[in-house]
A = this chain, B = another copy of it.
Amino acid sequence: MRTFQQIAPLRTYLRGIRQEGKTIGFVPTMGALHAGHMSLVKRAAQDCDLVVVSIFVNPTQFGPTEDFTSYPRVLQQDLQVASNSGVDAVYTPAVEDIYPDGFQTTVTPGALAQRLEGQHRPGHFAGVCTVVAKLLNIVQPDRAFFGQKDFQQARIIEQMVHDLNFPYEVVVAPTVRADDGLALSSRNAYLSQEERLAATALNEALNEAARAHLAGEKSPQALSEIVRERCLKEPLVSLEYCEIANNISLEPIEDVDSCNAVILVAARVGKTRLIDNIVLPTRLS
């Protein structure tokens, strides 16, 4: 496995790969790699000849009161995990390589970024779009892979790539869950044992709502109430939002069967902020 800290040698290496006619799959990450990331790597290896992973904890997507400094940084462990998973190249830039002196141009997402996470984390998605645009342009992959766990992020990146005509394909792959259903996230490492148990309420709440939908419940308010009630049973879980939205526009929907809907939740579990979601199928009846 090759590792690169600098843009120029990475680009030289990738130019050689492209000249051999090989396709490049790219998995941008903030490190603390877990099975969720590795499922993206596996998918990338299926779809492309070569897999590049970036590890960069991007300061501009963290708010001033958020966990930028405490975000888990375990580079040596990550390199081992990546190497064992068949990753071909890891790119680990320094902050000053991504944001050199004089840096000033950003990518600004639109309406998709105003709601949900955007309301609770102002500036977050502008930071995400800007760094993803940069990483895409540095790697120039044939395909880039993102996890459905960050549903809104994935939609915003799809929209950015479409709106700005980036010549890269975005692939969104399913959320990977622990045996008890908790969506894998690097932030799960913050949870105490007690919080870790309580956190399963999020996935269970989403599943309860999905079952109710399958059984005929069409009202977003009713589905949302099911999620709220399940979360209320866990004193350690404090629901921040639960929204039933169109899975393309992320706008709230009136009738769950009028379009494919997604239920999106964010919650505090102790001090840790977690998000999760479930896409509801459109019923044929």
**Interface, chain A (partner B; CB < 8 A):** 7, 11, 102-112, 129-130, 133-134, 137-138, 140, 159-160, 163-167, 249
Picked from B105, B129, B137, the residue with its CB within 8 Å of the CB of A167 is B137
Are the CB atoms of B111 and A108 closer together than 8 Å?
Answer: no
CA distance A248 to B160 in the complex (A): 29
Number of copies: 2
Are the CB atoms of A160 and B105 closer together than 8 Å?
Answer: yes
CA distance A133 to B129 in the complex (A): 14
Question: With A137-B164, A137-B167 given, is the CB distance from A108 to B110 under 8 Å?
Answer: no
- Whole-angstrom distance between the Cβ of A20 and the nearest chain B Cβ: 14
Q: Which residue of B lies closest to A129 (CB)?
A: B105
CA distance A127 to B107 in the complex (A): 12
- Whole-angstrom distance between the Cβ of A42 and the nearest chain B Cβ: 27
Picked from B105, B112, B159, B249, the residue with its CB within 8 Å of the CB of A107 is B105
- Whole-angstrom distance between the Cβ of A145 and the nearest chain B Cβ: 19
Q: Which residue of B lies closest to A140 (CB)?
A: B167
Are the CB atoms of B163 and A103 closer together than 8 Å?
Answer: yes
List the 5 closest pairs (A to B, CB-CB), nearest first.
A104-B110, A105-B163, A137-B165, A105-B160, A108-B108
Question: With A164-B133, A165-B134 given, is the CB distance from A104 to B159 under 8 Å?
Answer: yes
- Whole-angstrom distance between the Cβ of A111 and the nearest chain B Cβ: 5
Residues on B with C-beta less than 8 A from A110 are 103-106
CA distance A109 to B137 in the complex (A): 17
CA distance A167 to B8 in the complex (A): 11
Residues on B with C-beta less than 8 A from A137 are 164-167
CA distance A106 to B164 in the complex (A): 8
Q: Identify which of A11, A105, A138, A167 gathers the most chain B CB atoms within 10 Å of its CB.
A: A105
CA distance A167 to B134 in the complex (A): 10
Are the CB atoms of B167 and A130 closer together than 8 Å?
Answer: no
Q: Which residue of B lies closest to A163 (CB)?
A: B105
Residues on B with C-beta less than 8 A from A140 are 167
Question: With A105-B160, A129-B105 given, is the CB distance from A165 to B7 under 8 Å?
Answer: yes
Residues on B with C-beta less than 8 A from A103 are 110, 163
